[in-house]
Structure 1
Amino acid sequence: MLRKLFKKQEMDMNVLSPLSGKAIPLEEVPDEVFSQKMMGDGIAIEPISKDVLAPFSGVVVNVFKTKHAINLRADNGAEMLIHMGLETVELDGKGFEVHVNDGQEIKQGDLLATYDIEAVAKENYKTVTPVILLNGEKFSLTQVKTDVEVSGGKDLIFQLEIL
């Protein structure tokens, strides 16, 4: 009984903001796939910085060929998608420089990508960045931070608790 209690605490984790900017509710993202949580729950960041940082320690599962999104798996099994901008797949990598590879181990705060938000905005794409929990059937989001300014790699955006 006691071991289960301690094991649960080990599996819970803090998720830091991958970007500096304003944290907003996912429901405010102007894209139904994200706002209606079709991919999963989370939040979005209206970025003011170019550095995309690892929100937790784990491994890079997949860097999309078009460099606009990165899928990560935390040490506790949580899977997270960082989707830089909306419909930015159409840019075919323009405005994105990825610094990690599939299968690479990462530590919280590591630089994952550089996101040229000015160049993406100049191409008339939204720069809002959804941060989505992909396996929400195993975790719940708590302490969700929205409508606040967050610093990438420093501020908590939510906590994941294992179900």
Structure 2
Amino acid sequence: MSLRVGSPVTGRVVALSAVPDPVFSQAMVGPGVAVEPVRAKADVVSPVDGKVVTLHPHAFVVATGDGAAVLVHLGIDTVKRKGEGFELHVVKGEEVRAGQRIVTWDPAEVEAAGFAPICPVIALDASADVLAGLALDADVTTNDALFDWSR
């Protein structure tokens, strides 16, 4: 079985190694890709169908019914913003659909505040060999496929 993981934001897909944070760039939390977002206020959407199991203004995890969990992190060190500039549209425990709006943010504003707005999208508790079709160096819009996760 394969799980299609969609892009939470519009932008350009880059390798995790391009993320200016070793936790992500060295895939310590798991494999995946990152999206360099378009610098405009935008909605961030769920990458998969599932339940919101972790929810912070700057990051969230959606777990599918079979236990696959995808982390979306909005920018690097953005936890230091304490929620400023992020508007949540769901609550923890809510069931969501791929492409459903989770949070609204402005990557240009995040960048102006001194933070990298790049968005890692991580397959938690997975190994790199189960991800296929990574959309590296491609322009994507929200909900376009980033990769397929063999389950």
Bucket of the pairwise TM-score, normalised by the shorter protein: over 0.9
Residue 149 of structure 1: aligned partner: 139
* Structure 1 spans left out of the alignment, 5+ residues: 1-8
Structure 1 position 59 matched with structure 2 position 51: yes
Residue 89 of structure 1: aligned partner: 79
Question: Is the CA contact (8 Å cut-off) linking 2:13 and 2:34 kept in structure 1?
Answer: yes
**In terms of Rg, which structure is larger?**
1
Distance 2:3 2:27 in 1: 21
Aligned pairs, number: 149
How far off is 1:76 after superposition? 2.8
TM-score (norm 2): 0.94
Structure 1 position 160 matched with structure 2 position 145: no
Residue 125 of structure 2: aligned partner: 135
How far does the alpha carbon of each residue in 1:61-88 deviate from its partner, in whole angstroms, 9 at most, with x for none? 0112xx1100110233111110000000
Structure 1 position 38 matched with structure 2 position 28: yes
Question: Is the CA contact (8 Å cut-off) linking 1:62 and 1:101 kept in structure 2?
Answer: no
Question: Is the CA contact (8 Å cut-off) linking 2:131 and 2:147 kept in structure 1?
Answer: yes
How far off is 1:28 after superposition? 1.1
Percent identity between the two aligned chains = 36
Distance 1:160 1:128 in 2: 21
How far off is 1:130 after superposition? 0.4
Residue 37 of structure 2: aligned partner: 47
Question: Is the CA contact (8 Å cut-off) linking 2:16 and 2:27 kept in structure 1?
Answer: yes
* Structure 2 spans left out of the alignment, 5+ residues: none
